[in-house]
């Protein structure tokens, strides 16, 4: 029997380009394969709680340039460890069977899950329980293995670069150090790309533990050479040598409870104290997730969405479309969740940064 009814959901953190995927999935499924598409609300929460709607062709018209996701999302709704409240206390339950029952009650023959590492881990769990799932790789951090780029990354780098560009003028006018904190828990792709593109003088990433004395010495040398300002770009997951992450808070109901943030303020205070130079801190945070996707991300997301529907039609489940060079190829979801894609210490962009006089805090 050909595939005639599929579901689509977006899970994990939001980012620009999700709607472009949904747009491509719905239109290709209807036009090329005469499929029905069910949109599931708020990621796996909608699958557990039974919340969805049929997506018609016109429902997705005009959504490609929109940020966010018309289906909503959740980074707390892991069906295998679902947050619940009993007798006023938070607890976690395995509600994966409820999700499976709803999948079957909808009459789904396949599910397209748009997300990153967490979403792919959950999808793999359901695949092991017999569900037919195809993934679509999404994360602004670009830390999902087996694909050169994920959609959402280019948009985040664009926003970060524009912010750095704007901070240059005010830093130069007031002879200040500007510290720009960007997202990136365990991988510094956003910091490295935007730092190079925006002309950051110091780039700190999770892959290279920094020495604050070396950073301050570098800034002093810039001042001695007549450069009276500096731009420091730091990923939220950066940490000092012999130090640890800067934790902003913990979210108990999330499967990943640690929320990083605040390393920019730590570094800013240390730079000002050690150099005597007035220092300001800007935390871009969720600005990197919002807004309209770049043309590159719209195209990449559309390619991923269309390829995902083809995989479903061909009944090639447990896979996701990955970008290799300029080609889209199918890759097992299991391979993507083996490990995060961090920046290799011999990566060419690190060499570019060093050779153009950028300090990496080493």
Q: What was the pLDDT predicted at 112? A: 98
Q: What was the pLDDT predicted at 117? A: 92
The answer to whether residue 203 scores a pLDDT higher than 70 is: yes
Is 141 in the active site? yes
Domains of the chain: residue spans and CATH: 5-151+293-336 (3.40.50.450), 153-289 (3.40.50.460)
Q: Which residues are annotated as a binding site for Mg(2+)?
A: 117
Residues 108-161 pLDDT 10s: 999 999 999 999 999 999 999 999 999 999 999 999 999 999 999 999 999 999
Contact 305, 177 (CB under 8 A): no
Indicate which residue of 42, 141, 154, 297 is catalytic.
Answer: 141
Q: Which residues are annotated as a binding site for substrate?
A: 139-141, 176, 183-185, 236, 280, 286-289
CA distance readout (Å), 59 to 26, 183, 191, 292: 9, 32, 36, 19
Residues 240-291 pLDDT 10s: 998 877 676 665 655 565 667 689 999 999 999 999 999 999 999 999 999 9
Q: What was the pLDDT predicted at 247? A: 73
- 56/61 Cα distance (integer angstroms): 9
- At 201, the pLDDT band (50, 70, 90 cuts) reads very high
- 77/253 Cα distance (integer angstroms): 9
Q: Lay out the sheet containing 230-235: strands in order across.
A: 202-204, 230-235, 177-182, 279-283
Report the first-to-last Cα separation within the chain, whole angstroms: 59
Q: Which residues are annotated as a binding site?
A: 13, 76-77, 116-119, 139-141, 176, 183-185, 236, 280, 286-289
Length of the chain, please? Answer: 362
Residues 297-336 pLDDT 10s: 999 999 999 999 999 999 999 999 999 999 999 999 999 9
Q: Which residues are annotated as a binding site for ATP?
A: 13, 76-77, 116-119
């Amino acid at each position: 029997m050909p595939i005639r009814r599929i579901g689509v959901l977006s899970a994990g953190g939001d980012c620009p380009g999700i709607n472009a995927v949904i747009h491509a999935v719905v239109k290709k499924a209807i036009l090329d394969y005469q499929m029905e598409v069910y949109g599931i609300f708020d990621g796996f929460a909608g699958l557990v709680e039974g919340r969805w709607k049929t997506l018609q062709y016109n429902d997705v018209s005009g959504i490609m340039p929109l940020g966010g996701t018309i289906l909503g999302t959740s980074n707390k709704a892991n069906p295998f460890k679902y947050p619940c409240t009993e007798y006023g206390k938070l607890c976690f339950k395995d509600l994966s069977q409820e999700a499976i029952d709803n999948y079957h009650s909808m009459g789904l023959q396949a599910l397209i899950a748009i997300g990153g590492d967490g979403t792919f881990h959950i999808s793999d769990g359901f695949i092991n329980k017999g569900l037919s799932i195809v993934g679509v790789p999404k994360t602004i951090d670009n830390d999902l293995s087996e694909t050169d780029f994920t959609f959402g990354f280019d948009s985040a780098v664009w926003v970060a670069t524009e912010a750095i560009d704007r901070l240059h003028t005010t830093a130069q006018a007031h002879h200040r150090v500007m510290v720009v904190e960007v997202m990136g828990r365990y991988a510094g792709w956003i910091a490295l790309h935007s730092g190079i593109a925006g002309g950051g003088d110091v780039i700190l990433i999770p892959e290279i533990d920094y020495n604050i004395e070396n950073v301050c010495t570098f800034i002093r040398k810039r001042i001695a050479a007549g450069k009276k300002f500096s731009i420091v770009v730091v990923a939220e997951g950066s940490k000092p040598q012999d130090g640890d992450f800067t934790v902003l808070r913990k979210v108990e109901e999330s499967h990943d409870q640690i929320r990083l943030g605040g390393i920019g303020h730590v570094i800013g205070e240390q730079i000002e104290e050690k150099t005597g130079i007035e220092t300001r801190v800007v935390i871009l945070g969720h600005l990197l997730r919002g807004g309209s996707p770049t043309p590159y991300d719209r195209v990449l997301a559309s390619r991923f969405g269309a390829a995902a529907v083809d995989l479903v039609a061909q009944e090639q489940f447990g896979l996701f479309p990955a970008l290799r060079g300029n080609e889209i190829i199918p890759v097992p979801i299991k391979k993507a969740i083996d490990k995060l894609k961090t920046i290799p210490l011999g990566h060419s962009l690190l060499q570019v940064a060093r050779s153009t006089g950028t300090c990496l805090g080493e």
